[in-house]
Amino acid sequence: MNELDYLIIVIIVMALSTYFTRLIPFVLLSPGRESSILNYVAKSTPPMVMMILVVYMLKDINYQSYELIYTLIALTITIGFQVYKRNALLSIVAGTAAYMFFVQI
Amino acid sequence: MIRSAVKISLPIMFGFVPLGIAFGLLFQDLGYPWYFASLMGIIVYAGAAQFMAIGFLSAGLGVVEIAMSTFFLNSRHMFYGLSFLESFGNWNIRKLYLIFGMTDETYALLTTIQVPDGFIKERYYLYITLFAQFYWVLGCTIGAILADVLTFNTDGMEFAATALFVVLLIEQWIIVRRLLPFIVGFISSIIALVFFINHMLLTAIMISIASIVFMRLIKGSQS
């Protein structure tokens, strides 16, 4: 097997494996079935997942360096813009620009 | 509708393009033709798994191991589908694509936005998902092509993904207005961080869903 064959097989295998994880709930659970518990889970999952994703993104901060300080500043800017302007793009650009500024100086 | 979908998906662009560029740059180190980076963005379309793939490819890992690792790394996506069982409509090519495009970022955005009046939900979702993948493929391609000439300092740009999730967390709060799922999500994250740091995302999601199911069942048996 030459190198390109290997790469192509890996790509196909990863594509199928990834798609499979996303497809499972739709295959196993048919829609329209009345289930109050499933409904409740479906409603509660987005806020829980969002919370988890935020913690996940912040988990690798080094708490003994300036990283903690400038991450907090960038977060404050992002949150501040979002709360007062409700413009997602503006909040993200402002927070990221601040973060990049601190990382690169 | 397309214009609205572009506008609402722009936050994903700020996360996906720099991340895709980072992937493309790393992928180029492996020495394959650049268009394979684009191909991965098109048919695999999974951020973390693609970064993991760079390690696999350079190590020449076996296909079965790669399939298993990809499955476990992405298995959190199983829980994302729960929120869309109703809204993706009937089985057809569009639904198959919406399921395919269910990344962390797309999931986060689609569960947070309100579909404007007069728009067909499924179609609106489809455009957003398409644009999101376009940004990702664009990033992968730019990174792989410009690997040698890129001089722009992108350090710190990865914060865009954090900012996106923070923004969507605030929006979730505005929609949901119940403290419980946020607290459960936070506590589950901390438990997962302490005990399962290598599989933090998946374990945190499983713990949080198990917890709310459990709480719901207890509440149900009392009333």
Contact B145, B23 (CB under 8 A): no
Same domain, A15 and A59: no
The answer to whether residue A42 sits within a structural domain is no
The answer to whether residue A65 sits within a structural domain is yes
d(CA B12, CA B6): 10
CA nearest to B88, candidates A19, A31, A17, A50: A31
Report the largest interatomic distance among the alpha carbons of chain B, rounded to a whole angstrom: 66
Same domain, A104 and A55: yes
**What integer best gives the mean pLDDT of chain A?**
88
Same domain, A22 and A60: no
CA nearest to B73, candidates B95, B59, B53: B53
The answer to whether residue A78 sits within a structural domain is yes
The answer to whether residue A56 sits within a structural domain is yes
Same domain, A11 and A58: no
Same domain, A17 and A63: no
The answer to whether residue A41 sits within a structural domain is no
Same domain, A54 and A103: yes
Same domain, A101 and A62: yes
- The structural domain count of chain A equals 2
Query: Is 80 exceeded by the pLDDT of residue B115?
Result: yes
d(CA B47, CA B44): 9
Same domain, A64 and A95: yes
- Which residues 76-135 on chain B approach chain A with CB closer than 8 angstroms? 77-86, 88, 95, 99-100, 102, 104, 107-108, 111-112
| Cβ–Cβ gap A19/B79 under 8 Å | no
Same domain, A29 and A60: no
d(CA A65, CA A69): 8
For A55, the domain range is: 47-105
| Cβ–Cβ gap A100/B157 under 8 Å | yes
Residue A11 with chain B: CB contacts under 8 Å: 36, 39-40, 43-44, 53
Q: Is the ipTM of this complex over 0.90?
A: no
CA nearest to B181, candidates A51, A48, A43: A48
| Cβ–Cβ gap A38/B79 under 8 Å | no
Contact B20, B137 (CB under 8 A): yes
Walking along chain A (105 residues) 10 residues at a time, the average pLDDT comes out as 87 95 87 72 87 90 89 97 87 91 91
CA nearest to B163, candidates A44, A62, A82: A82
Query: Is 70 exceeded by the pLDDT of residue B52?
Result: yes
Residue of A nearest to B189 (CA): A52
Domain ranges of chain B: 2-177, 179-223
Same domain, A65 and A88: yes
CA nearest to A45, candidates B171, B17, B219, B172: B172
- Which residues 4-23 on chain A approach chain B with CB closer than 8 angstroms? 4, 6-7, 9-23
Question: Within A1-105, where are the H helices?
Answer: 3-28, 36-58, 66-85, 88-104
List pLDDT tens digits, range A32-46.
666 778 878 888 888
